Amino acid sequence: MAIEILTEAWATAWRDALNTSATYREAAASWEGAVVAAVRGEPERGIASRAVFLDLWHGACRAARPATDADIETARYVLTASASTWADLLGGALDPVSAVMGGRLELTKGSVMALLPHLAAAKELVAAARSVAATAPAEWSAR
């Protein structure tokens, strides 16, 4: 059964996917710090903002949960996008690096220059998220 993306159950499944991925573990061996993946709310479409916090440490995900304000404040990177961009990204229709460079996936906290050495880890982070059987809320697909 598919889990709704950017929920507590999905965050837990993403953590588990990361922690069982040898490819992620190798690519993220030098990665330290937290990441928040956030959906920008679109009240006119009935889309509420939501975010997931990942505590990443040298190829392991130590915690994953819905993000709190404190998590967003302390995270090294916050990646924010519209619901449709997240749906495209997690569905495989959009490359994460292209999404950041093209402005569809906005780095609202953190530096692109600081992220560059971790591009392989970031791609594996997204690959692990894509491996989770998930579904987007119905209102996300209405463009």
Each residue's pLDDT tens digit, 20-69: 999 999 999 999 999 999 999 888 888 889 999 999 999 999 999 999 99
* pTM, 2 dp: 0.91
Non-local (6+) Cβ contacts of 129 within 8 A are 14, 17, 37, 90
**Domain contains 139:** no
Rounded (to 5) percent helix, strand, coil in the chain: 45, 25, 25
Residue 100 lies in a domain: yes
77 in any annotated domain = yes
Confidence of residue 80 (pLDDT cuts 50, 70, 90): very high
Number of domains in the chain: 1
Which range marks the domain in which residue 32 is found? Answer: 3-134
Residue 143 within a domain = no
Whole-number Å distance between alpha carbons of 123 and 90: 11
Report if residue 142 sits inside a domain: no
Residue 141 lies in a domain: no
Residue 19 lies in a domain: yes
User: Residue 36's domain is classified under what CATH number?
Assistant: 3.30.1050.10
Q: What percent of the chain has pLDDT over 90?
A: 65
